[in-house]
């Protein structure tokens, strides 16, 4: 029994030895084939919001309220903070009260206009009475029934009554013009103060996220000072600014695809498109900037480090694995023969190298 076990073990070892011997003699090869290849240009840079705004104050004063915190999503026009408007409120109140009084006086049935209307009506009645008296005495005088002095007196009274009536009408018209002018001035003054007051309410100029808050409640804001910064707001859309060697400036164009990696998400890469190329060279570093629009997550930090590859060319090419090529030659499997063949190569694309001459599609090259 022991002898049978030993023989069986020996046979297994012999089979294994034969298997590995055959494996060592196995030839590995790859087909020469046409593939789609891409020429990529590398760039590095950073992420920034498509729209970025540094919110500043237009007026000076103490910060009364802060209504948002860093990371909050805000809509366009949303109130971020309020600066104490101080005496401006008193000015608005005073002008508003004066405007209210003027508008009350301008009403048709106001006591002010009613008194002027009564004066006009009284002077009209007086003029008409003086006119009738004058006309009666004029007839009597023409008939020689009254002396000339009585006629002249009635004539003078009528002329005075006419002038008084015209004066009262003009006074009424002037009063209306004056009231309306005063109303326009006060209304404009009030609107100006309200517009000025609106400056004390700080609103977001865009929709996005509060990236940073530079102030605290109670701080004094000097809108003329260099430290006039309240908030930074960034939109929810992202741009990746990639700096590329100026030697590739002629290859990079708007509309080209890109693959982007961001340090904040090391395990992921993102598709993007070049939408703008800044063709002014940074002469100190010999770089140009390509702006890429990429669909990055909302939680991406503004200013995050990024790098990417821009696809400047895509075409079909005849390729072989780069490891099959050595010093201008490859080993070609031609039936049972192995031939050393000289080939002409082009660009290398990752693990593959372009074949420009010496091989044809379907050839088998031996791998080391």
Residues 262 and 122 in one domain: no
Ranges of residues in the chain whose predicted pLDDT is under 70? 1-26
- The reported pLDDT for the residue numbered 106 is 87
> Domain check: are 262 and 360 in the same one?
yes
Q: Please check whether residues 69 and 92 belong to one and the same domain.
A: no
Residue 21 pLDDT: 37
- Is residue 353 in some structural domain? yes
Closest CA to 59 of 88, 100, 21, 18: 88
Q: How many CB atoms lie within 10 A of CB 83?
A: 23
**Tokens representing residue 231 in the block:** 């908030």
CB atoms within 10 A of CB 58: 13
Q: What pTM value is reported for the model? A: 0.60
With CA atoms as reference, report the closest residue to 161 among 116, 138, 132, 131: 131
Q: Look at residue 165 in the predicted model and tell me its pLDDT.
A: 93
- 256 and 183 together in one domain: no
Looking at the fold, whether 115 and 156 belong to one and the same domain comes out as: yes
Alpha-carbon gap, residue 135 to 141, rounded angstroms = 10
pLDDT value, residue 314: 87
Q: In the listed set 198, 223, 255, which residue is the last one of a domain according to the structure?
A: 198
Examine the domain organization and report whether 216 and 292 are in the same domain. Answer: no
In a domain, 103, yes or no: yes
In a domain, 5, yes or no: no
- Whether residues 253 and 223 share a domain: the answer is no
Res 13: pLDDT: 44
> Does residue 80 contact residue 68 with C-beta atoms inside 8 Å?
yes
Residue 7 burial by CB count (10 A; 0-12/13-18/19+): exposed, middle or buried?
A: exposed
Collect all residues with Cβ–Cβ distance below 8 Å to 21 and sequence separation of at least 6. Answer: none
Facing residues of 309 across strands? 42, 259
Domain co-membership, 207 together with 258: no
Q: Does 62 map to a domain?
A: yes
Residue 22 is assigned to a structural domain of this protein: no
The 3-state secondary structure of the chain reads CHHHHHHHHHHHHHHHHHHHHHHHHCCCEEECEEEEEEEEEEEEEEEEECCEEEECCCCCEEEEEECCCCCCEECCCCEEEEECCCCHHHHHHHHHHHHHHHHHHHCCCCHHHHHHHHHHHHHHHHHHHHHHHHHHHHHHHHCCCCCHHHHHHHHHHHHHHHHHHHHHHHHHHHHHHHHHHHHHHHHHHHHHHHHHHHCCEEECCCCEEEEEECCCCCCEECCCCCCCCCEEEECCCEEEEEEEEHHHCCCCCCCCEEEEEECCCCCCCEEEEEEEEEEEEECCCCEEEEEEEECCCCCCCCCCEEEEEEEEEEEEEEEEEHHHCECCEEEEEECCEEEEEECEEEEEECCEEEEEECCCCCCEEECC
Domain final position from 173, 198, 223: 198
The predicted structure's pLDDT at residue 26: 67
pLDDT at position 4 is 38
Q: Same domain for 282 and 139?
A: no
Is there a single domain that holds both residue 280 and residue 308? yes
User: Is 30 domain-assigned?
Assistant: no
Chain segment 23-59, per-residue pLDDT in tens = 444 678 898 999 988 889 999 999 999 899 999 999 9
Question: Are residues 150 and 90 part of one domain?
Answer: yes
pLDDT given for residue 11 in this prediction: 39
- The answer to whether 204 and 176 are in contact (CB under 8 A) is no
pLDDT in tens, 240-293: 999 999 999 999 999 999 999 999 999 999 999 999 999 899 989 999 999 999
Q: CATH code at 205? A: 2.40.50.100
Examine residue 31 and state whether it is found in any structural domain, yes or no.
no
The CATH number covering residue 311 comes to 2.40.30.170
**Which among 186, 214, 234 is the end of a domain?**
234
pLDDT of the residue at 186: 93
Supply the pLDDT for residue 7: 39
| Diameter over CA atoms, the chain | 181
| Total of domains in the chain | 3
In a domain, 340, yes or no: yes
Query: Residue 200 class from Cβ within 10 Å (0-12 exposed, 13-18 middle, 19+ buried)?
Result: buried
Shared domain for 211 and 275, answered yes or no, is no
Domain that holds residue 64: 53-83+200-234
């Amino acid at each position: 029994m022991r002898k049978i076990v030993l023989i069986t073990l020996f046979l297994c070892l012999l089979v294994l030895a034969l298997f590995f011997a055959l494996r060592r003699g196995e030839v590995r090869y790859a087909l020469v084939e046409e593939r789609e290849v891409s020429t990529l240009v590398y760039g590095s840079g950073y992420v920034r919001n498509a729209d970025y705004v540094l919110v500043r104050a237009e007026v000076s004063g103490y910060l009364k309220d802060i209504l948002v915190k860093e990371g909050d999503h805000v809509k366009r026009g949303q109130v971020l903070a309020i600066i104490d408007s101080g005496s401006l409120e008193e000015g608005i109140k005073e002008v508003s009260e004066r405007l209210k009084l003027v508008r009350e006086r301008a009403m048709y049935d106001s006591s002010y206009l009613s008194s002027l209307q009564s004066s006009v009506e009284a002077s009209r009645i007086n003029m008409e009475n003086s006119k009738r008296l004058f006309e009666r005495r004029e007839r009597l005088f023409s008939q020689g029934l009254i002396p000339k002095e009585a006629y002249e007196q009635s004539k003078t009274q009528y002329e005075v009554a006419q002038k008084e009536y015209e004066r009262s009408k003009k006074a009424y018209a002037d009063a209306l013009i004056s009231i309306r002018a005063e109303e326009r001035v006060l209304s404009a003054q009030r609107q100006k103060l309200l517009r000025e007051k609106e400056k004390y309410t700080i609103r977001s100029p865009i929709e996005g996220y509060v990236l940073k808050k530079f102030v605290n409640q109670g701080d004094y804001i000097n809108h003329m000072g260099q430290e006039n910064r309240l908030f930074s707001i960034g939109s929810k859309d992202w741009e990746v600014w990639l700096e590329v060697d100026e030697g590739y400036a002629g290859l990079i164009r708007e509309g080209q695809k890109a693959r982007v990696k961001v340090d904040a998400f090391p395990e992921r890469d993102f598709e993007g498109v070049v939408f703008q190329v800044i063709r002014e060279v940074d002469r100190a570093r010999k770089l140009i900037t390509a702006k890429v629009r990429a669909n990055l997550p909302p939680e991406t930090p503004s200013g995050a480090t990024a790098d990417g590859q821009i696809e400047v060319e895509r075409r079909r090419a005849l390729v072989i694995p780069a490891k099959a090529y050595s010093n201008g030659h490859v080993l070609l499997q031609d039936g049972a023969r192995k031939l050393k063949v000289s080939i002409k190569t082009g660009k290398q694309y990752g693990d593959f190298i372009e074949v420009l001459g010496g091989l044809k599609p379907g050839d088998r090259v031996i791998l080391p």
